[in-house]
Amino acid sequence: RSLSGSSQSPRSPSSSTSEPFLHVTVTDPVKLGNGVQAYISYRVITKASSLPYASYLAISF
């Protein structure tokens, strides 16, 4: 469901479109640690169509 409340599925970017995009996929949650020191680790995959987004792709936590 989209954020606008519409039930339409999100559009997939086409190669013919000139509008830049930044896709972020978060998968594979893994619980690490125990008790109050427990936390969740995720796999984050990014894909961008434009060079201005390149600086966002190099972020690590």
Which pLDDT score, from 0 to 100, does residue 60 have? 58
pLDDT grade, residue 13 (50/70/90)?
A: low
Contact (CB, 8 A) for 15 and 49:
no
The CA-atom distances, in angstroms, between 11 and each of 5, 8, 14, 47, 59 are 15, 9, 9, 15, 26
Whole-model pTM: value is: 0.51
- pLDDT tens for 22-43 read 888 999 999 999 999 999 999 9
The alpha carbon of 41 is separated from its chain's Cα centroid by a whole number of angstroms, namely 15
